[in-house]
Structures are given as structure tokens and as C-alpha cells.
């Protein structure tokens, strides 16, 4: 028995769900919402899209304040407070998202305080994680999609990896303590992996000539 190799059980890898995320976001409201779109739906669209485009945890997004935003033109960033008191600054490089965020701030009239506020407690306090999770599940049901709130972060990380962003850059964006955790998200799409292999083979063939 001592000579038999130990069987290692592979870790369960998070599956990318970009298409599913897009379906749920579309159910909430459009990126170009109508004027009559209720503020709470606009808030929800911006909240969940913030988690998606920043690769942030839903709890981190619920805790954001207007003061965490830096919306200087062409250099927009958000400061995210993560686990263990860590703070990271994330680039907001999606122009459509930035436009929607600014529209939300204008509609809500927020210049300070919690960015995403509860609409039923009468105090304007931060929307709780439990409330956000419940609303996400409601929108998922409307979109006929089964996806938990956390894979918003998974999908973003996988998209970055497939776009050629380094593991270290993705690690910093997601706020991981080590690249080992980030590598769980590094699931290359089959087509992307095939393209890399073909490119490597062509380089090898050219060198052999």
C-alpha cells in the first residue's frame, strides 16, 4: 500500500457564465434605461454590473460609498474595501458602465454616503448583502437562469484571462492574497486555447525551416 500513489481529488473549478450574467442584467433594465425606469431597478442594474465589471464580491459592492468613486474623465476608478481591511483600486474601463453609473448618481442625487441604499428602511442605509442576494435570485428567476451571485466575479475573471490579461493583474483586480486562488478562474475557452496551440505550432514550424 505504501507504494500506491495518493489519489488527488481535483478542486471544483468555477464555471464562467458571461452569457447568463448578460441575460440577468438585461432583465433588470437596459444600459440605456427609460426615464420611467424605477430608481431601485436602476440601482440594482448598477450594483450587479459593478460586481461584474470590477470582479468584486457582492458584499464589497454593497459596502461602497460615493466617496470611493473617482470619476475623472478617462481615469475613472473605484476604491474597494476587501477582506481583512485590504483596499484595492480598480480601473473602470467600460465606458458603457461608467455612463450608466453617472446616470444613476444623477437620478439618485447622491453626492456622498452609501452608493447603493435600501429603499424600504427609510434611513437610506447601505443595501444589505442578503437583500442584494434575494433581488439577484428574483431577477435570475425572471431570466430563467440558474446562477448564484458570486459567479459574477468568476465570469469577469475568466473573461480577463481569455483576453490575455496576466494572472498577477487579475489577482490584484480581484483582491486575492495569492495567484493560486486566481488560477482557479483561469479557464481558457476552448477556442482561445486552440488558437494559442496553433500559433505555437506555426512558430515552431517556421523555426524548423
Q: Which of 83, 134, 201, 203 is catalytic?
A: 83
| Known catalytic residue at 150 | yes
| Known catalytic residue at 133 | no
Q: Which of 43, 45, 135, 153 is catalytic?
A: 153
Contacts of range 23-32, beta carbons closer than 8 Å, 24 or more positions apart? 23/143, 23/144, 23/145, 24/48, 24/136, 24/139, 24/140, 24/143, 24/145, 24/147, 25/49, 25/52, 26/143, 27/139, 27/142, 27/143, 28/139, 31/96, 31/97, 31/99, 31/100
| Distance from C-alpha of 89 to C-alpha of 79, rounded to nearest angstrom | 4
Q: Which of 52, 97, 139, 185 is catalytic?
A: 185
Helix (H, G, I), strand (E, B) or coil at 32: coil
| Known catalytic residue at 34 | no
| Burial class of residue 10 in the structure, from the number of CB atoms within 10 Å of its CB (0-12 exposed, 13-18 middle, 19+ buried) | exposed
Counted residue by residue, the chain has a size of 209
The answer to whether the CB of 68 falls within 8 A of the CB of 54 is: no
Q: Which of 43, 156, 173, 176 is catalytic?
A: 176
| Known catalytic residue at 83 | yes
> Given CA atoms 63, 59, 185, 142 in this order, what sign does their dihedral have?
negative
| Known catalytic residue at 153 | yes
Q: Which of 57, 154, 171, 173 is catalytic?
A: 57
| Known catalytic residue at 198 | no
List the catalytic residues: 57, 83, 150, 153, 176, 185
Amino acid at each position: 500500500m505504501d507504494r500506491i500513489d495518493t489519489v488527488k481529488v481535483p478542486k471544483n473549478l468555477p464555471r464562467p457564465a458571461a452569457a447568463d450574467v448578460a441575460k440577468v442584467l438585461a432583465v433588470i433594465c437596459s444600459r440605456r434605461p427609460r426615464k420611467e425606469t424605477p430608481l431601485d431597478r436602476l440601482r440594482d442594474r448598477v450594483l450587479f454590473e459593478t460586481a461584474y465589471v470590477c470582479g468584486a464580491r457582492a458584499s464589497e459592492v454593497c459596502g461602497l460609498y460615493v466617496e470611493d468613486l473617482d470619476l475623472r474623465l478617462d481615469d475613472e476608478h473605484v476604491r474597494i474595501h476587501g477582506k481583512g481591511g485590504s483596499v484595492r483600486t480598480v480601473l473602470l474601463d467600460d465606458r458603457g458602465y461608467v455612463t450608466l453609473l453617472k446616470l444613476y448618481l444623477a437620478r439618485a442625487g447622491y453626492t456622498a454616503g452609501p452608493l447603493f441604499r435600501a429603499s424600504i428602511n427609510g434611513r437610506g442605509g447601505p443595501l444589505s448583502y442578503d437583500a442584494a442576494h434575494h433581488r439577484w435570485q428574483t431577477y435570475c428567476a425572471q431570466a430563467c437562469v440558474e446562477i448564484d451571485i458570486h459567479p459574477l466575479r468568476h465570469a469577469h475573471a475568466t473573461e480577463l484571462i481569455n483576453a490575455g490579461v496576466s494572472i498577477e493583474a487579475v489577482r490584484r483586480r480581484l483582491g486575492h492574497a495569492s495567484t493560486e486562488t486566481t488560477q482557479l478562474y483561469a479557464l481558457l475557452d476552448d477556442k482561445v486555447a486552440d488558437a494559442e496551440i496553433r500559433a505555437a505550432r506555426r512558430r515552431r514550424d517556421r523555426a524548423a525551416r
